[in-house]
């Protein structure tokens, strides 16, 4: 049985129920126009991920369900099965996936494995589901699970494949870390081969505050093949999946026979939409990003979405001429364009000519406007205000000056009283130094003095 499956990798915004609804409906329309029999979305599609304390607002929970019913109504004329994430609220709240078809909510699956490590704190909000779900889709049997359900050993996929599932649909919101996609791909292929089942995995893309989601939705097959979608951008990955491949692998390898059932399973029957033969769909081969290109793409997306999702159009950056501010400015220009970035250079008496030159050249190279706002008077008034409080403390030295050989020579220690402020000197040592200084000059740079202290 061949099922055309569309993975709708969309960029949702936490709390923007109307905006997310529009994106979901647009993706459904695009997928059904391509004659897709299944349309799969990322985790918590309606609310955005992670909704966190919005989940404590019962009005928000009810509105999220109202949006689900509106989306279901939009599918009234579609024969495709839509699988999307929402928050199920029945006394407790659940991270859930809804099965929609022909205007109806056919069934709901509640995520069973709730992560509570690293950036995840789902157990704080959600209750775990109790039973895996199996969808009877004509000759195919389809297991539905959500993100972490695939990462844990013997998760819902165990019982779903024992019950005959030859296709697993996973809704995910797996955050980006450097090179994590390799671990993720390995896991999905391992699960596909371990349970002799094809896995369609739809991951979230976009950034939400301090999290970045890289997308890379994919289909992993028990024969070791892996088709991966685009990274760091929205995508609609459409594939014709032959569910008989999984069935044949299970019959050949017989792995499922020795697996033990964990819990009872829930089943629902959905009207199938399938194809007799696979069409020649263009299978995209996405080029692999290098480690550094991947980091740049993640940072760009993080900046762009942070501004967009918080309704900021332009940004102002302090430019010191150093590497940190230069990198941020370059990334900002790549993310939102040079016309939306303005630099500010704020010199004082400790600012070197090199710093001014570098800041101005950076602005010219990036094509951004730069303002020069001297802050000498502000520095002076601040030092004056703090003079009494810090009267016994030595004045700090900026790293820029510390690394400047001219500053080091200018501030060299040239007499015994100054040296005594830095290191302990015995009376005998002072006598010896006094004799030496009668014939020779002393000049100990602050850097070398710091080594003497150590």
Q: Which residues are catalytic?
A: 43, 111, 147
Q: Which residues does 412 contact at the CB level (< 8 Å), separation at least 6?
A: 443, 444, 445, 446
> Given CA atoms 304, 308, 313, 314 in this order, what sign does their dihedral have?
negative
Contacts of 42 (CB under 8 A, 6+ apart): 8, 9, 10, 12, 49, 85, 171, 172, 173, 202, 203, 204, 205, 213
Name every residue whose Cβ is closer than 8 Å to that of residue 296 and which is 6 or more positions away in sequence: 331, 334
The torsion region of residue 91 among left (phi > 0), alpha (psi -120 to 50) and beta comes to left
Please say whether the beta carbons of 205 and 173 come within 8 A. no
Maximum separation of any 2 CA atoms in the chain, in Å: 102
And the tokens for 261?
């059932």
232 contacts 204 by C-beta, under 8 angstroms: no
Contact 341, 368 (CB under 8 A): yes
> Residue 115: CA atoms inside 13 Å, Cβ hemisphere, count?
16
Which residues are bridge partners to 342 per DSSP? 316, 369
Give the number of residues written for the chain: 454
- The two tokens of residue 63 are 């509105």
The CA–CA distances, whole Å, from 224 to 186, 191, 193, 249, 252 equal 10, 11, 7, 11, 15
Q: Is 291:179 a contact under the CB 8 Å cutoff?
A: yes
CA torsion, ordered 297, 298, 304, 310, to nearest 10 deg = 170
For residue 364, with 0-12 CB atoms within 10 Å meaning exposed, 13-18 middle and 19 or more buried, which class applies?
exposed
């Amino acid at each position: 049985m061949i099922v055309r499956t569309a993975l709708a990798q969309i960029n949702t915004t936490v709390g923007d129920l109307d905006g997310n609804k529009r994106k979901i409906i647009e993706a459904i329309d695009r997928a059904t126009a391509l004659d897709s029999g299944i349309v799969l979305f990322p985790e918590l599609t309606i609310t955005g991920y992670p909704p966190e304390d919005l989940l404590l607002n019962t009005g928000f929970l009810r509105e999220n369900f109202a949006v689900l019913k509106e989306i279901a109504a939009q599918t009234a004329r579609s024969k495709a099965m839509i699988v999307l994430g929402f928050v199920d609220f029945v006394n407790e709240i659940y991270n859930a996936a809804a099965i929609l078809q022909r205007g109806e909510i056919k069934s709901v699956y509640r995520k069973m494995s709730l992560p509570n490590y690293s950036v995840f704190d789902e157990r704080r909000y959600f209750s775990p589901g109790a039973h895996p779900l199996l969808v009877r889709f004509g000759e195919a049997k389809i297991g539905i699970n959500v993100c972490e359900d695939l990462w844990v050993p013997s998760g819902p996929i165990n019982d779903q494949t024992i019950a005959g599932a030859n296709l697993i649909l996973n809704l995910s919101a797996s955050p980006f870390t450097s090179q994590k996609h390799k671990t993720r791909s390995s896991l999905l292929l391992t699960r596909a081969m371990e349970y002799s089942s094809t896995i369609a995995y739809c991951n979230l893309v976009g950034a939400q505050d301090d999290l970045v989601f890289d997308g890379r939705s994919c289909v992993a097959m028990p024969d070791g093949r892996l088709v991966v979608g685009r990274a760091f951008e929205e995508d609609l990955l459409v594939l014709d999946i032959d569910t008989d491949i999984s069935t044949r692998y299970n019959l050949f390898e017989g792995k499922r026979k020795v697996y033990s059932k964990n819990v009872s399973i829930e089943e629902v029957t959905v009207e199938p939409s399938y194809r007799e033969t696979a069409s020649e769909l263009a299978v995209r081969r996405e080029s692999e990003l290098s480690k550094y290109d991947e980091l740049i793409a993640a940072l760009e997306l993080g900046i762009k979405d942070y501004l967009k999702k918080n309704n900021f159009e332009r940004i102002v950056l302090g430019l010191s001429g150093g590497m940190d501010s230069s990198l941020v400015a370059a990334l900002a220009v790549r993310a939102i364009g040079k016309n939306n970035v303005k630099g500010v250079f704020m010199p004082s008496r400790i600012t070197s000519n090199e710093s001014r030159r570098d800041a101005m050249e950076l602005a010219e190279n990036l094509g951004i406007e730069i303002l020069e706002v001297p802050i000498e008077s502000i520095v002076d008034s601040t030092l004056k205000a703090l003079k009494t409080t810090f009267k016994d403390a030595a004045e700090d030295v900026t790293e820029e000056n510390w690394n400047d050989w001219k500053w080091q020579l200018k501030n060299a220690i040239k007499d015994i009283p100054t040296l005594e402020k830095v290191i302990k000197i015995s009376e005998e040592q002072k006598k010896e130094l006094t004799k030496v200084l009668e014939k020779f000059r002393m000049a100990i740079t602050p850097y070398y003095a710091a080594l003497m202290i150590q």
